[in-house]
Amino acid sequence: MKRSSELSSLSLVWNRRTTRILELTAGEALLAGLKFEKVGGSLATGHSPGGKWTLWRIGFPKARTYIRVGTSKRNVAILEPGSRTGGAPLAFADGRSFLWQPAKDRRQDMTFANATGKTIARFRAENGPGFRVGVEIERWARDLPELWLLLLLGGYTLISLHNDKQAAAAKAKLLKAPTAAE
């Protein structure tokens, strides 16, 4: 796996390898991964050179995402639901904070920014079948201690939203389907 200081010069992509496994790659190199415990569930384990975390979402439609280090029972951070006008705050138990928000120049892109609003990483969903998200890291941010967690959380959040949209579309299709009595 690559060191975070090498990331800003690489083309990073989140790809869905299986229904439950996502991989962050740079070319052929595996950098980080997410594994959901079960299909349709929100509990996932993330691993990277920066550590291992447990992530899960609770609540609907405005879900909170809880983050724990490894298998600890203590939350180290919580990603709160976003607002219509701003982003979703990511608050660490020790007081550090970040913001998950739409990019100012491309609303369909999402970014993590620091407390002053400076972009750390940009996540761009790519068109086409399946799930694929390009990731760009700002050069200044490559040595942030939280960078690996932010990369995992960005991938986790986008695949969770993608899965929510697919489930809603499937439900809508079922509700519109004619019944045998019709």
Determine the Cα–Cα distance for residues 133 and 124; give it in Å rounded to an integer: 5
Residue type, 42: S
Q: Which two tokens stand for residue 66?
A: 């809880």
pLDDT of residue 39: 81
Domains of the chain: 4-176 (2.40.160)
In this structure, of 35-49, 61-75, 155-169, the range with the lowest mean pLDDT score is: 155-169
- Kindly report whether the global pTM for this prediction surpasses the value 0.75: yes
pLDDT of residue 176: 78
Q: State how far the alpha carbon of 82 is from the alpha carbons of 91, 122, 134, 180, in Å.
A: 13, 17, 22, 42
Above 70 in pLDDT, residue 55?
yes
Compare 148 and 18 and report the one with higher pLDDT: 148
Mean pLDDT of 28-46: 92
Q: Tell me the per-residue pLDDT of 65-105, one tens digit each, with 9 for 90 and over.
A: 999 999 899 999 999 987 665 689 999 999 999 999 988 77
Compare 127 and 49 and report the one with higher pLDDT: 49
pLDDT of residue 1: 46
Mean pLDDT of 125-136: 83
Q: Tell me the per-residue pLDDT of 108-120, one tens digit each, with 9 for 90 and over.
A: 789 999 999 999 9
Q: Do 103 and 122 contact (CB within 8 A), yes or no?
A: yes
pLDDT of residue 19: 86
